[in-house]
Amino acid sequence: IDEPKLLAVSGIRVSYVAGVDVLHGVSLDVSAGEVVCLLGRNGAGKTTLINALCGLLPVNAGQVTFDGKSLLGLKPSGIVAAGIAVVPEGRRVFSNLTVAENLAMGAYSRRTGFGPSWHFERVYDLFPRLAERRDQLAGTLSGGEQQMVAMARAMMAQPRLLLLDEPSMGLAPLLIELIFDTINRFAKEGMTILLVEQNAAAALDVADRAYVLERGSIVRSGLAASLESDPEIQRSYLGV
């Protein structure tokens, strides 16, 4: 028997301008407990896919189901209520709120009864650096610290699926390591994650499975380990 997919995307077409599709029938799925990464270059359509999943862009054709129920036509608030949390590209935090207040905003949209429960102590345990800075305004944190706040805030909502859009973008190597280490810890806690990344090597290291998006179409998919050792992927995405 096939395991039910938590997220199932099938043949979706998405456009910004009528008649010009940016996603040309994209299909992918994520099972509960999996970390799945979506690789692709600049402009491949990764953020477009995330925005469509969040209800920020209409889906012109195809289907998206979450736990068997269609997400199509839901507003972003309905998608959050279904249990999907997103950390958008560019780590938008509430600059004029403290770290603790940012986390409280995440808890505000909390679901009950799903997944392990997340609360301040647990988040501060996982992010000691945020614990030290809990009363500091988020806008005054470093880029890496802001990314941590954005990720921690998403976890406070106790999502069933976490969407991460290029969490390592623009960060120094040490912080990139910290972010991927955090993703690993979320995964060990059983969180289901769809990770969009240009940093293919690090993404394939944390992921169970991966998809490769090129010009709006999925061109490869498979176990992360097998893509990592694939000569074509190594040449095109891993700089080998």
Q: How far is the CB of 233 from ligand ATP (least distance, A)?
A: 17
Least distance (Å) between residue 32 CB and ligand ATP: 26
- Applying CB under 6 A, among 3, 16, 95, 185 the residue interacting with ligand ATP is 16
Which ranges constitute the DSSP H helices of the chain? 46-53, 76-82, 99-108, 120-126, 128-132, 143-156, 173-188, 200-206, 224-228, 231-237
Distance (Å, rounded) from C-alpha 104 to C-alpha 94? 11
> Are 27 and 218 contacting, i.e. CB atoms less than 8 angstroms apart?
yes
Query: Per-residue x/- marks for ligand ATP, 21-50, CB under 6 A?
Result: -x-----------------x-xxxxxxx--
**Min CB(44)–ligand ATP separation in Å:** 4
Q: How far is the CB of 213 from ligand ATP (least distance, A)?
A: 7
Choose between 155 and 227: whose C-beta lies nearer to ligand ATP: 227
CB 74 within 8 A of CB 55: yes
Residues 157-216 that bind ligand ATP (CB under 6 A): 198
Task: Return the number of the residue (17 or 174) whose C-beta is nearest ligand ATP.
Answer: 17
| 180 and 171 Cβ atoms separated by less than 8 Å | no
Q: How far is the CB of 210 from ligand ATP (least distance, A)?
A: 15
Of 30 and 39, which has the nearer Cβ to ligand ATP? 39
Sheet containing 69-70: which strands, arranged edge to edge?
Answer: 20-30, 7-17, 61-66, 69-70
Closest to 147 in 3D by CA, of 109, 116, 174, 120? 174
Task: State in angstroms the smallest separation of the CB of 212 from ligand ATP.
Answer: 11
Judged by CB, which is closer to ligand ATP: 43, or 58?
43
For ligand ATP, which is the closer residue by CB, 217 or 234? Answer: 217
Query: In this complex, which beta carbon is closest to ligand ATP, that of residue 101 or of residue 214?
Result: 214
Instruction: Please name the residues in contact with 26: beta carbons below 8 A apart, sequence gap of 6 or more.
Output: 9, 11, 12, 14, 45, 49, 62, 213, 216, 217, 218
Q: Where does this chain bind ligand ATP (CB under 6 A)?
A: 16, 22, 40, 42-48, 198
